[in-house]
Amino acid sequence: MKTAIATVSISGTLAEKLDAIADAGFDGIEIFEQDFITDAGSAKDVGNRIRDKGLEISLFQPFRDFEGLPADLRAKAFDRAERKFDLMQDLGAELILVCSSVHPKALGGIDRAADDLRELGERAAARGLRIGYEALAWGRHVNDHRDAWEIVRRADHANVGIILDSFHTLGRGLDPESIRRIPGDRIFFVQMADAPKIDMDLLYWSRHFRNMPGEGDLPVTDFMRAVLAAGYAGPVSLEIFNDQFRGGSARTIAKDGYRSLITLLDDVRRAEPEIDVHLPPIPARQHVDGTAFVEFTTRGAEGDELKAQLSALGFAETGRHLAKAITLWQQGDIRLVLNEEKSDFAGSAFNMHGTSVCDIGLSVSSAADTMARAAALGSRSFEQVPAVGQLDIPAIRGLGGSVLHFLDRGHADVWETEFGANATGPIGAGLQVVDHIAQTMTYDEMLSWSLFYGSLFEMTKAPMVDVVDPDGLVRSQALGTEDGAFRITLNGAETHRTLAGSFLASSFGAPVQHIALTTDDIFATAEQLFVSGFNALPMPDNYYQDLIARFDIDPARLAEMKRFQILYDADEDGAFFQLYSQPTQNGFFFEIVQRNGYLGYGAPNAPFRIAAQKRLGRQKGVPSN
């Protein structure tokens, strides 16, 4: 299947758009006329530049307000079309998109529109060009792909076909199944876009909020299945009007687009195996069994501070790397790797942002399959020459320069080989596994990250929640595996004044701001931590007064919670206990959780936790957090 993307989907000059689109791996583009007009080159020159990038012009668009006009205006519309045909021939574009008219003087009538399109098809044929007719969801008379198809069917001309756009069909809630009845060779082009479910005017929704397939809430896989089941074999293209994307990084958006399109085609193939999507086979989304390790880069006094915090949390140093300045810290099934190497990736990560999480290791169903899927979706592998005695564990570059390692299920030998340690650590304070990893990013990066995780792994998205920081809003998007073995929260900051925003400002990429660890008895754990000198985040009395009002909690229980600074939430699934560490110098912190059937992340507590962290920061004289 050939892939394409509309130039309108990407930010920058035409040259920047073409570079990003070609590098992301697309075969072609839909050239938006405006992108041609704003360029200083002639049509021939622009056409050649596009082909020099290895791209074809799959579509020229849009041509508006054509069909159904009264005689005088009708003649002018044909003259206008002839001029655009001249331009297309110079560009080397063979197919033009005619979108259904919104002209106030346009007249209705299927046969009238069919007659106009037949004549346009005749004129296009004389020049070796083709016409694709698309129903805009807000078209004056034609706003349903079934009507557009009836018009194309009656136009009955070999050079006139239909263009399908998932947004216009699914945005209006039309059933895509009707597409299966359109002969595949009458579908000239297919545009894909998703969108978040928001109740608003269709035109405004379409022009500002579309996003990549899989990033929104529309049933885009069902739509694509119907299109391919109809026998369509032309390009599959992304046409994404989105304010954020227009202002974002051209390269990131183009790569996201490619990742989403390949994922979509692969999903179609899995849902309907009879369909040939004309793509080499790729492994399925992988199941993540859990977090195998979290690696920190650290050094000197900062390293001492982190080690003291880990000891207070009940971790023990259980191994030293045979060849490098790396130590393994364990407790239960949690493995934290402290990398103090001055060279390597960890060394450069430290130079850029001090003590921080520089690598995450995931235990997956198959590391080789994960690597193959990641590569097919456009990720680069991460390579570093292994030291003597170091295993060569497969890894990729995630977004923003991050690194993810993949360990096959039952990877116990890694810890034995590299650290002379067992896979499982001491009981310590009863911490068992990593519950979730929280990454902070700008709001604009959230879709990229959720697409990244959701396309690679079997994970589902929870609804986005807004978290109130005293100085602004932070949006939080959680993704997790069905069984909860791997959970990620993505926190998008809109301003640097929020706690998340100030942490981000002093970091790089999408740093890990906290890691949550599980216990199955948070009171016993807290008691031990209290003894070992763990510094819990102090919560105000007001918080506990409010808990009494909101929940039916036993007073003795509440007194214990207050004593240990334990936070609480409950919903129809169960109860949730949280305990936060005080943040380190650069704002990183640990969270301890106990889930009694509860599936969320304690969002109602987040504003109080953030305010408490900021208050503590002010007391310690740390500016803004």
Q: How far apart are CA 331 and CA 383, in angstroms?
A: 29
CA-closest candidate to residue 592, choices 529, 499, 512, 500? 529
Q: Does 242 bind Mg ion (CB under 5 A)?
A: no
CB of 607 to ligand DHB, least distance (A): 39
CB of 138 to ligand DHB, least distance (A): 8
545 CB-near residues (< 8 Å, 6+ apart) = none
CB of 62 to ligand DHB, least distance (A): 4
Q: How far apart are CA 61 and CA 37, in angstroms?
A: 12
Burial pattern 452-463, b for ≥16 Cβ within 10 A else e, equals bbbbbbbbebbe
Q: Does 563 bind ligand DHB (CB under 6 A)?
A: no
CB of 134 to Mg ion, least distance (A): 5
> Which residue number, 64 or 615, has a Cβ lying nearer to Mg ion?
64
Radius of gyration of the chain (CA): 28
Select from Mg ion, ligand DHB, none the partner in contact with residue 361, using the beta carbon and a kind-dependent cut-off of 5 to 8 Å. none
> Which residue number, 137 or 337, has a Cβ lying nearer to ligand DHB?
137
Select from Mg ion, ligand DHB, none the partner in contact with residue 207, using the beta carbon and a kind-dependent cut-off of 5 to 8 Å. ligand DHB
Phi and psi angles of residue 535, each rounded to the nearest 5 degrees, phi first: -95, 100
Q: How far apart are CA 433 and CA 442, in angstroms?
A: 28
Taking CB under 5 A as the criterion, the residue among 11, 191, 298, 355 binding Mg ion is: 191
> Which residue number, 10 or 403, has a Cβ lying nearer to ligand DHB?
10
CB of 182 to ligand DHB, least distance (A): 18
* Residue position matching structure tokens 């103090």: 340
Which part of the chain contacts Mg ion (CB under 5 A), choosing from 14-22, 105-113, 233-241, 266-274?
233-241
- State the residue number with the nearest CB to ligand DHB: 62
Q: Does 62 bind ligand DHB (CB under 6 A)?
A: yes
Q: Does 165 bind ligand DHB (CB under 6 A)?
A: yes
CB of 148 to ligand DHB, least distance (A): 12
Q: Does 594 bind Mg ion (CB under 5 A)?
A: no
Site for ligand DHB in 184-223 (CB under 6 A): 191, 206-207
Q: Does 97 bind ligand DHB (CB under 6 A)?
A: yes
CA-closest candidate to residue 436, choices 597, 610, 592, 613? 592
Which part of the chain contacts Mg ion (CB under 5 A), choosing from 82-90, 187-195, 198-206, 354-362?
187-195
Q: Does 134 bind ligand DHB (CB under 6 A)?
A: yes
Encoded tokens for 577: 């206990």
* Residue position matching structure tokens 């490619």: 258
> Which residue number, 186 or 208, has a Cβ lying nearer to ligand DHB?
208
Select from ligand DHB, Mg ion, none the partner in contact with residue 62, using the beta carbon and a kind-dependent cut-off of 5 to 8 Å. ligand DHB
Between helix 522-532 and helix 300-312 the angle, nearest 10°, is 130
Select from Mg ion, ligand DHB, none the partner in contact with residue 97, using the beta carbon and a kind-dependent cut-off of 5 to 8 Å. ligand DHB
Which part of the chain contacts Mg ion (CB under 5 A), choosing from 66-74, 238-246, 302-310, 609-617?
238-246
Binding site feature residues = 134, 165, 191, 239, 436, 514, 591
Select from Mg ion, ligand DHB, none the partner in contact with residue 370, using the beta carbon and a kind-dependent cut-off of 5 to 8 Å. none
Torsion of CA 399, 401, 402, 404, to 10 degrees: 80
Binding site feature residues for Mg(2+) = 436, 514, 591
- State the residue number with the nearest CB to Mg ion: 165
> Which residue number, 55 or 240, has a Cβ lying nearer to ligand DHB?
240
CA-closest candidate to residue 494, choices 542, 540, 440? 440
Pairing label, strands 403-408, 395-397: antiparallel
Q: How far apart are CA 114 and CA 66, in angstroms?
A: 11
Binding site feature residues for a divalent metal cation = 134, 165, 191, 239
CB of 45 to ligand DHB, least distance (A): 25
Q: What share of the chain is helix, strand, coil (3-state, %, to 5)?
A: 40, 25, 35
Select from Mg ion, ligand DHB, none the partner in contact with residue 236, using the beta carbon and a kind-dependent cut-off of 5 to 8 Å. none
**526, containing H or E segment:** helix 522-532
Select from Mg ion, ligand DHB, none the partner in contact with residue 20, using the beta carbon and a kind-dependent cut-off of 5 to 8 Å. none
Q: Does 99 bind ligand DHB (CB under 6 A)?
A: yes
Q: What is the 3-state secondary structure (H, E, C) of 336-380?
A: EEEECCCCHHHHHHHHHHCCEEEEEEEEECCHHHHHHHHHHCCCC
Q: How far apart are CA 563 and CA 543, in angstroms?
A: 13
Taking CB under 5 A as the criterion, the residue among 165, 267, 289, 408 binding Mg ion is: 165
CB of 167 to Mg ion, least distance (A): 7
Q: What is the 3-state secondary structure (H, E, C) of 194-234?
A: ECCCCCCCHHHHHHHHCECCCCCCCCHHHHHHHHHHCCCCC
Encoded tokens for 552: 């039916």
Q: Is the dihedral of CA 122, 124, 125, 130 positive or negative?
A: negative
CB of 242 to ligand DHB, least distance (A): 12
CB of 237 to Mg ion, least distance (A): 9
Which residue ranges make up the site for ligand DHB (CB under 6 A)? Answer: 61-62, 97, 99, 134, 136, 165, 191, 206-207, 239
Which residue ranges make up the site for Mg ion (CB under 5 A)? Answer: 165, 191, 239
